[in-house]
Amino acid sequence: MRCGGTVLPHPCRTNVSVSRVAAANYDWAPPVHADLEMIRPLDIKGFRKKDKGKPAASEPPGPTVPAPSDGDTRNAPDPFTAVLPAIAALGAVSSIATINWMAQEKTADRSRTKRKASTALRDLESCCLGLTEIFRRFQRNPKLFAGEGASASPLKFGVHGPRISAAQTQLYQQLVNDVASMLVLASQAAFDVMCAVEDGEINAPEQLFFGFGECQDRLNKLIQNRATLKASVDTGLDVADRLTVLVRDLKKHRID
């Protein structure tokens, strides 16, 4: 294309030399990115190849939690100091069996219990559910309760556990606190239920008390046979489940 004797660039052509000639005559310069676009090679389809962007800088790795070293661990406490109180709490609930043959006739001067039978039964059921969860936590954390020789050792104190971290130590202490709470609540609720049975507020059949007696015998055998830690935990879970069922059946025989 001509304009007054000057060759102008064709609007459809993208030639660097023509563009620069036009820039010189018309006091205009193409942008830098235009020149770079023009000198890029063509691909097989006739399009200008695009520069691939530079790979993004990799983000610095986040802080890693170092594994506890031998110097950062502690010796685990005696595992039976947590298991035996939990078994004792089950024994407090199963002691309801004794009221079946030890109860005395109600007299006029006998004081009434402060709590209603319905409240005592509800609290006792909650304790049984709590003890069931405690024994399941025993099973879910075998490292705390199956240390060096602990799993095969008979029922006794002085069985030392493995080396554990600070987080595992906190888990053990929390479990001991829960066992202590369940022991207090279970003994109080079981006592109130026995008082309700003796006062005639609960009239349950003998077969139901025999069920509590069977649970009591299973717990006694753990002590008599000096069962291993694993056997004590497994039996404790079975007894806790059975006591939960018995307490729920006992609620059905409350006299309104």
Domain presence at residue 59: no
194 in a domain, yes or no? yes
CB atoms within 10 A of CB 152: 10
Residue 256 placed within a domain? no
Whether residues 78 and 149 share a domain: the answer is yes
Residue 208 confidence (pLDDT): 93
Same domain, 127 and 173: yes
Coil, strand or helix at 28: coil
**In which band, very low, low, confident or very high, does the pLDDT at 213 lie, cut at 50, 70 and 90?**
very high
Q: Mean pLDDT throughout 57-80?
A: 60
- The DSSP line for 38-70 is HTSPB-TTSPBPPPPPPPPPPPPPPPP-PPPPG
**DSSP 3-state assignment of 163?**
strand
**Same-domain status, 13 and 108:** no
Whether 154 and 215 share a structural domain: yes
Is 92 in the same domain as 14?
A: no
The verdict on 153 and 29 lying in the same domain is no
Q: Indicate whether 165 belongs to any domain.
A: yes
> Do 179 and 226 lie in a common domain?
yes
Q: Is residue 34 domain-shared with residue 89, that is, in the same domain?
A: no
Least Cα distance to 221 among 241, 239, 207, 209 occurs for 239
pTM passes above 0.75: no
Is 43 inside a domain boundary?
Answer: no
Under 8 Å between Cβ of 202 and 117: yes
What number is the average pLDDT over the span 120-136?
95
Please check whether residue 108 lies inside any domain of the structure.
Answer: yes
Q: In whole angstroms, how far apart are CA 19 and each of 11, 12, 28, 36?
A: 10, 12, 9, 13
The structural domain count of the chain equals 2
> Which of helix, strand or coil describes residue 195?
helix
Same domain, 189 and 92: yes
- Residue 46 forms part of a structural domain: no
Q: With left for phi above 0 and alpha for psi between -120 and 50, is residue 113 left, alpha or beta? A: beta
What residues contact residue 46 under an 8 Å CB cut-off, 6+ apart? none
Question: Is 63 among the domain residues?
Answer: no
Nearest one of 139, 119, 118, 131 to 92, comparing CA atoms: 131
What is d(CA 253, CA 246) in angstroms, rounded to the nearest whole number? 11
d(CA 103, CA 222): 27
Full domain range(s) for residue 224: 72-251
Structure-model confidence comparison of residues 60 and 250, the more confident one: 250
**Same structural domain, 144 and 88:** yes
Alpha helices, H only, the chain: 16-25, 32-38, 80-94, 99-102, 117-140, 142-145, 166-198, 206-224, 229-251
pLDDT higher than 80, residue 77: no
Which of 52-66, 132-146, 202-216 tops mean pLDDT? 202-216
pLDDT of amino acid 16: 46
**124 and 230 inside one domain:** yes
105: left (phi over 0), alpha (psi -120 to 50) or beta: beta
Higher pLDDT, 194 or 146: 194
Say if residue 97 is in the same domain as residue 207: yes
